[in-house]
Amino acid sequence: MIGMRKPFIAGNWKMYKTAGEAISVATILATELSGEKDKKIMIAPPFTALHAVRDVLEGTPILLGAQNAASELEGAHTGEVSPRMLMDAGVAVIILGHSERRHIYGETDALVNRKVRLALSEGFEVILCVGETLEERQTGVTEKVVETQTAAGLAGVGEKELSRVTIAYEPVWAIGTGKNATPQDADAVHKFIRGVLAKSYGEKASQAMTIQYGGSVKPDNIKDLMKMENIDGALVGGASLKPETFLPIVQYDR
Ligand code: PEP
């Protein structure tokens, strides 16, 4: 990464942890990371643990994240969680377009875009996830896929709001599989995404954007990833569930 962008390490706890378990892990992270000033840190517990974890994180530098949000503010949407409810729960950042939402729950670019615009208009920061499947990589359409997902996901988002958006490049074949992209391969896609952003928002805005890598990030590969010019942080799934693995990722530069 380059100096002007602050490293951003985020943990996605997916569908793991009861409220009690979430409090235990968040308490350790809050204590251990209380002095971190030079990085942005976020954890995204499941919805049911948000209120409890908010209380633990209060006064610490760790931001509270949500893993998804509805594309509407309220109404007859059984099972959905509105951005307003997330604001009430203390959430600052919402992860949208995660590949598990796209591929298991059929979220389209159009739906992800509605969610992104609504979340931004409600004052949140957003992590917009993009990434190709194994088949797409093997057929040589990685750039096309990430360009489409990035441009469609951000359609209608103005330059001012862009400062509250982080892109997470997460090759689907690397998520939860133990296979990660090489730092060089990941950096090449990050550079490409930065170019896509520059087309719509200009070079200066694109250089200021944080682009995280996600996909089997572990304590032993984070250092090499963070050395790359266009990799500004990580979105971490499995390894964010335990302090023993998440803390060394956050503190990769120690
Ligand atoms: C993720 O959930 O966004 C992720 C990258 O998972 P993992 O680190 O387990 O591959």
What is the per-residue DSSP string for 159-177? Answer: HHHHTTEEEEE--GGGTTT
Kindly tell me if the per-residue pLDDT of 177 is higher than 90. Answer: no
State residue 236's pLDDT score.
98
| Cα 175 to middle of ligand 1, angstroms | 5
pLDDT tens profile 184-213: 999 999 999 999 999 999 999 999 999 999
Half-sphere exposure of 64 (CA within 13 A, CB side): 26
Q: What is the pLDDT of residue 4?
A: 84
The sign of the dihedral angle between the CA atoms of 218, 223, 228, 232 is positive
Give me the percent of the chain exceeding a pLDDT of 90: 95
Ligand 1 centroid to residue 76 C-alpha, Å: 31
65/144 Cα distance (integer angstroms): 29
8 A C-beta contact, residue 42 and residue 34: no
Nearest CA to ligand 1 atom 2: 237
16-26 pLDDT tens trace: 999 999 999 99
Residue 253 Cα to ligand 1 middle (Å): 21
pLDDT (tens digit per residue) in 151-165: 999 999 999 999 999
Token duo for residue 248: 């060394």
Mean pLDDT over each residue of the chain, to the nearest integer: 96
Task: Tell me: pLDDT of 172 over 80.
Answer: yes
Sole residue written with tokens 């490049």: 169
- 133, 103 contact by CB (below 8 A): yes
pLDDT in tens, 221-251: 999 999 999 999 999 999 999 999 999 999 9
The catalytic position among 21, 98, 125, 190 is: 98
- The whole-angstrom separation of Cα 65 and Cα 129 is 14
Residue 36: its pLDDT value, please? 92
Give rounded-to-5 percent helix, strand, coil for the chain: 45, 15, 40
- CA separation for the pair 224, 216 (Å, rounded): 13
Q: Whose CA is nearest to atom 1 of ligand 1?
A: 237
Q: Is 36 a catalytic residue?
A: no
Instruction: Tell me what the mean pLDDT of segment 27-46 comes to.
Output: 97
Query: What pLDDT score does 250 carry?
Result: 98
Judged against a pLDDT cut of 90, whether residue 1 lies above it is answered with: no
170 assigned to active site: yes
Question: Could you identify the residue written with the tokens 């096309």?
Answer: 144
The amino acid at residue 7 is P
pLDDT digits (tens, 9 = 90+) for 60-88: 999 999 999 999 999 999 999 999 999 99
pLDDT tens by residue, 95-149: 999 999 999 999 999 999 999 999 999 999 999 999 999 999 999 999 999 999 9
Note the pLDDT of residue 176.
83
SS3 65: strand
